[in-house]
A and B are shown apart, each in its own frame.
Chain A
Amino acid sequence: MSERFAYLADGPASVDGAVRAIAPALELELVEVAADSGASRAFDDSEAALHLAAQTLGLVESLGLTRVLTSSDAVTLHLRRSAHRLAADVALRARVNARLAEVGAPPTSGAVDVQHLVWELASERALALLHEHCLRPLEDLRVALLRGCQLLRPSRDLGASEQDLLRPLGRVVAACGASEVPIESGSGCCGAACAETRPEIALGAAAVPLVEAVDADAEALVVASSRCYAMLRDRREQIARNVDRELALPVLHVSQLVALALACVEESCSSIA
């Protein structure tokens, strides 16, 4: 029986393409929702970000869905925190829903379960299907992992311990047959959140996992978050110049790694295939 989710297709096209491609084999029924979750404003316009999150949650509820799936760490944290606040605070919810009503948007109860893709992929159900359908186990592939800081912290807002939140990406990678090359910065930060305000900080932070992965002889860096993926892929030349290193390491979103193992969307993984 399929697991039904609203899917926020707001990541890079190659990530969303990989997610769509792996969904049937993993029995994920994705109802795509085009909405701005507000995550990109969460640290600069917190009020606007909350309203946008509420609009997204309300839209999901209006479709008769109770679960949201996203490929981004920032969207996961922002939507989970917003849903919790809206569900717990009646006055806040009434104020926000009044604003939504002004623009004809459906209200939200806040009772929406926000899941990150890697958490769903690491469920017993999905892992069993992954094992079953893994046509091309990536047995020779040595990968370093970057878990995405907002998928780990603040753990209080994510609803699990940081230790527990560290595990899902490794489980999925192992199920694909690849082997993990440990790096110190695997629970670190790609810097994406201040890529616009302080690019030199962002580039410095982003270099750390790439350099460590190269130094550890990893053949690819697998990231859990589409935001980390975009940061490390799109700015890799800048990152490399910044540290004066050759960093020609493929960066894969976990959905792309799974797609490789399932042998279903090679075109979205051309950097490593």
Chain B
Amino acid sequence: MKVSLAIRRSQGGLEARREQFSVTVRAGATLLDALDQIKDARDDSLAYRAACGSGGCGACGVRVDGRSVLACETPVAPLVDGGHVPVVAPLGNFPVIRDLVVDMEPFWAKHRAIDPAPRVAAGSGAEAGAPDEVACVLCGVCVSECVSLAHDPDFLAPAALAIARRHVADERESERVRAGRLANVAGEHGAGACVACGLCNERCPKGVEPLWSIAELRTLGPGGGSGGAGPLARVRGLLGRGDRSSGSKLLTALRAPDDDDDE
């Protein structure tokens, strides 16, 4: 099958240009296969990242016609349907190093900022359950799409916040550690800066849902409705939040201590 791709190319801060390549690929080829073919047969100076080729490493994130994807998991045939020439560009919201290669350092800085390692004592056993965020391969696709990040480059952004939520939900961590994590993501550039556009959920190639992770962090955090962890504590602290008359009776009931609330 013959495919043509328009690739956004740039180097060393020079103005980007689009360059069109046509190659022949096998049936069932992925976008990464097509990029490999272009590099092998057309222009070996083309720069892009790839490693495992099977969706596990998260290295090959790019944008196709404005949509962020993992190249190795994206079949190329639908992209070129009807003779369409898709535009392949580097991930958004990242500085570009060259062609399709972006500088991931801002991403890793935010990852470090949320303290990505579990803070558990030796012998604490395994993490309970299987939180959705475990599936994150740190590819940066959600970050590439993030509307808030486009307007606040310091926003922690969906990937780091999803990992933070994973640890907040880890019952092996102490309350003190959990409170520290929640405070850490509650600042100006934390969870409250999310516009809730849902692009992170929609584009995540692994089915992680950062939007709902962020909502939980906001609920549990100092500015949220929880006032602390636990299902009973979570619904407290709702006074003075502009309750509408239609809901205030219910909200008052939610705030009231339960008989089984031992706090």
Contact surface of A with B, Cβ cutoff 8 Å: 34-36, 38, 41-48, 51-52, 55, 77, 99-100, 102-103, 105, 149-150, 152-156, 162, 184, 188-189, 191-194, 197-198, 200-202, 204-205
Contacts and interface: CB of A to CB of B under 8 A. Distances in A.
B176 interface: no
Contacts of B201: 153-154, 156
Given A35-B246, A38-B247, A201-B193, A48 B225 contact: yes
B231 A47 contact: yes
A44 B148 contact: no
Interface residues of B toward A: which range? 35 or more
Contact of B198 (A41, A149, A200): A149
A198 B152 contact: yes
Contact of A36 (B199, B234, B247): B247
B195, B201, B209, B238, most chain A CB atoms within 10 A: B195
Contacts of A35: 246-247
A197 B193 contact: yes
B197 A189 contact: yes
A153 B250 contact: no
A205 B219 contact: no
B92 interface: no
Given A45-B241, A55-B247, A198-B192, A103 B147 contact: no
Contacts of A154: 198, 201-202, 209, 211
B196 A150 contact: yes
19 contacts: A36-B246, A38-B247, A41-B241, A43-B215, A44-B219, A44-B223, A46-B225, A51-B254, A149-B198, A150-B197, A152-B202, A154-B198, A154-B211, A191-B195, A194-B192, A200-B151, A201-B148, A201-B152, A201-B195
Interface of B: 66, 147-148, 150-152, 155, 188, 192-199, 201-202, 209, 211, 214-216, 218-219, 223-226, 231, 234-235, 238, 241, 244, 246-247, 249-251, 253-254
Given A99-B254, A193-B196, A46 B215 contact: yes
Given A52-B247, A194-B148, A200-B151, A47 B219 contact: yes
Nearest first, the 10 closest Cβ-Cβ pairs linking A and B are A45-B225, A153-B198, A204-B151, A36-B247, A189-B197, A193-B196, A154-B201, A197-B192, A149-B197, A36-B244
A105 B250 contact: yes
